[in-house]
């Protein structure tokens, strides 16, 4: 089966970049990305490539090459579904905030809406690909909805989870560790699997394309993120022990990471992990384990989340205790709001929770992030409902550069490891701060000894 038309429902952090790369590498395939958010589609179609709704290094060049040739962004969802032979579902699957599984299970309402819309519109056979991160056996629910159309249309459901790291998504797509495709292991299912394999094989070596049953594929995504998040929380737990014993967490991390059985990735102590995947996927895994009565398994993985929350909380507490146990009326500059560098994604960013805790102590927060807009920052804080929107607007100011944010500040907290913060004129920043000037490096971005020579009172996680 040779695919000539693809539709992707969802133009967010996964759908947009993934489809752009597929379009770039498969110019013979028409790729249409659809979304009900008109402003998002307008931004994807903007002539100003710096205003794409998703910031990823290299994405602008990929979009520039493919857009208008065989890559299209549209709000006409029904038309794209009707024309496509293969439909990717790449919509948000947040953690439920209500009902059974609240604060733990995945909220699948958007997935169900997509399935119902496909069922309503489709007049010809389709391959439907799960691209969103989903709990095990979601494909069965999708197939159940699609099989009730009564139109004689046949659907094959594939699981094709993404393994992208924000900030390096384009490189991850161009040079993936592996591509995972799960489907039904019968004649029609294998035919659908091979159709997707052939698309990726346009630029990915076939020995890196793994095929499994659909359930193994769905679970592998959750488990991969759980393992990565566990490593972050593990080294963060050791960072607190290092502070108490006089060890240096960077030295411990290096010694442990050189063990080939462990490796060095995700062994960098920090304020904590964030992003759209780790927390919700671990909570989803915890919920699945509890659903099967595996309480010890659930408790084990839930501790990774508890450790991550503790790390964010103790970073804020360290700022409070160092500033003489009061930050009321004091200006704290926060450099970075995205959960990591080279992305404008703020979902579950440690900065939000550290700022929230400091705001509870009546601090004045000054924020600068190179790619995150002010309306996003206020929306993140307002979503927590800790204070009124008016109070957040009064206590939080968003600035256009590091120097404005840090002027007359009592302290600086580095929340995101943006490269531009390394290149700041730190002497200039110090000279324009209130004294004593404190800096809290939550990402090991700067040289502590150099900061001390300038005059800063410096604190870093795990040292």
What was the pLDDT predicted at 149? 65
Mean of per-residue pLDDT scores for the chain: 93
What was the pLDDT predicted at 178? 96
Q: Are 442 and 395 in contact (CB under 8 A)?
A: no
What pLDDT digit, counting tens, does each position of 70-99 carry? 999 999 999 999 999 999 999 987 788 889
Q: Are 72 and 48 in contact (CB under 8 A)?
A: no
Angle at CA of residue 266, ends 262 and 267, nearest 5°: 70
When pLDDT is cut at 50, 70 and 90, the band that residue 138 belongs to is confident
Q: Over 90: is that where the pLDDT of 312 sits?
A: yes
Q: Are 241 and 247 in contact (CB under 8 A)?
A: yes
What pLDDT digit, counting tens, does each position of 94-107 carry? 788 889 888 887 77
How many other CB atoms are found less than 10 A from the CB of residue 36? 14
Determine the distance from the C-alpha atom of residue 299 to the mean position of all C-alpha atoms in its chain, rounded to a whole number: 24
* Token pair belonging to 118: 């496909």
Closest listed residue to residue 312, CA positions, set 264, 271, 279, 368: 271
What pLDDT digit, counting tens, does each position of 140-185 carry? 878 888 887 667 889 999 999 999 989 999 999 999 999 999 999 9
Q: Are 183 and 158 in contact (CB under 8 A)?
A: yes
Percent of the chain scoring above 90 in pLDDT: 79
Closest listed residue to residue 72, CA positions, set 35, 43, 45, 90: 45
What was the pLDDT predicted at 150? 61
DSSP string for 129-198: EE-S---TTHHHHHHHHHTT--S---EEEEE----PPTTSHHHHHHS-S-EEEEE-SSHHHHHHHHHHHH
Mean pLDDT (whole number) for 208-235: 91
Mean pLDDT (whole number) for 389-417: 97
The 8-class DSSP code of residue 324 comes to T
Closest listed residue to residue 313, CA positions, set 286, 280, 350, 288: 350
How many other CB atoms are found less than 10 A from the CB of residue 185? 12
When pLDDT is cut at 50, 70 and 90, the band that residue 208 belongs to is very high
Mean pLDDT (whole number) for 111-133: 90
Q: Are 131 and 18 in contact (CB under 8 A)?
A: yes
Please indicate whether residue 461 or residue 105 has the higher confidence score (pLDDT).
461
Distance CA 53, CA 14 (A): 12
Q: Is 113 exposed, middle or buried, given 0-12, 13-18 or 19+ CB atoms closer than 10 A?
A: middle
Cα R_g (the chain), whole angstroms: 23
Straight-line distance from the first to the last Cα atom of the chain, in angstroms, rounded to the nearest whole number: 57
| Residue 462, Ramachandran bin (φ over 0: left; ψ between -120 and 50: alpha; else beta) | left
What pLDDT digit, counting tens, does each position of 324-356 carry? 999 999 999 999 999 999 999 999 999 999 999
When pLDDT is cut at 50, 70 and 90, the band that residue 137 belongs to is low
- By annotation, the residues acting in catalysis are 162, 221, 277
Please indicate whether residue 133 or residue 75 has the higher confidence score (pLDDT).
75
Q: Is 245 exposed, middle or buried, given 0-12, 13-18 or 19+ CB atoms closer than 10 A?
A: exposed
Determine the number of helices (DSSP H) and then strands (DSSP E) in the chain: 19, 14
- DSSP 3-state assignment of 225? helix
What was the pLDDT predicted at 133? 65
The 8-class DSSP code of residue 292 comes to T
Distance CA 55, CA 74 (A): 19
């Amino acid at each position: 089966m040779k695919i000539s038309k693809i539709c992707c429902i969802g133009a967010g952090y996964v759908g947009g970049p993934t489809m752009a790369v597929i379009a770039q590498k498969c110019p013979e395939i028409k790729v249409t990305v659809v979304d009900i958010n008109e402003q998002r589609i307008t931004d994807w179609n903007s002539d100003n490539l710096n205003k794409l709704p998703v910031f990823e290094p290299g994405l602008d060049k990929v979009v520039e090459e493919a857009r208008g040739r065989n890559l299209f962004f549209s709000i006409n969802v029904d038309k794209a579904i009707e024309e496509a032979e293969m439909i990717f579902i790449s919509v948000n699957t947040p953690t439920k905030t209500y009902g059974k599984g609240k604060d733990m299970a995945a909220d699948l309402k958007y997935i169900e809406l997509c399935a119902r819309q496909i069922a309503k519109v489709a007049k010809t056979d389709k391959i439907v690909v799960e691209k969103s991160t989903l709990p095990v056996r979601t494909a069965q629910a999708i197939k159940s909805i699609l099989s009730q159309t009564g139109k004689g249309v046949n659907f094959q459901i594939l699981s094709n989870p993404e393994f992208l790291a924000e900030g390096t998504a384009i490189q991850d797509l161009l040079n993936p560790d592996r591509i995972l495709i799960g489907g039904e292991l019968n004649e029609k299912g294998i035919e659908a699997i091979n159709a997707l394999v052939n698309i990726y094989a346009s630029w990915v070596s076939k020995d890196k394309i793994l095929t499994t049953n659909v359930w193994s594929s769905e679970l592998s995504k959750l488990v991969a993120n759980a393992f990565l998040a566990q490593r972050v929380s593990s080294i963060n737990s050791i960072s607190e022990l290092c502070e108490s014993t006089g060890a240096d967490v960077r030295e411990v991390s290096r010694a442990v990471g050189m063990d080939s059985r462990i490796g060095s990735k995700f062994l960098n102590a920090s304020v904590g992990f964030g992003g759209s995947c780790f927390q919700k996927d671990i909570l989803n895994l915890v919920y699945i384990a509890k659903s099967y009565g595996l309480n010890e398994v659930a408790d084990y993985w839930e501790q990774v989340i508890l450790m991550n929350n503790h790390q964010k909380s103790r970073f804020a507490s360290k700022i409070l205790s160092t500033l003489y146990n009061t930050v009321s009326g004091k200006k704290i500059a926060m450099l970075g709001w995205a959960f990591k560098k080279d992305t404008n994604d703020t979902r579950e960013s440690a900065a939000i929770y550290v700022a929230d805790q400091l705001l509870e102590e009546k601090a004045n927060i000054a924020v600068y992030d190179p790619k995150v807009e002010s309306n996003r920052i206020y929306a993140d804080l307002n979503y927590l409902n800790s204070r009124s929107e008016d109070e957040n607007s009064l206590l939080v100011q968003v600035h256009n550069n590091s120097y404005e944010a840090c002027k007359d500040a009592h302290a600086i907290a580095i929340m995101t490891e943006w490269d531009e913060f390394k290149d700041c004129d730190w002497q200039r920043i110090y000279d324009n701060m209130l004294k004593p000037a404190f800096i809290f490096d939550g990402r090991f971005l700067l040289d502590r000894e150099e900061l001390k020579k300038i005059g800063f009172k410096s604190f870093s996680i795990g040292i």
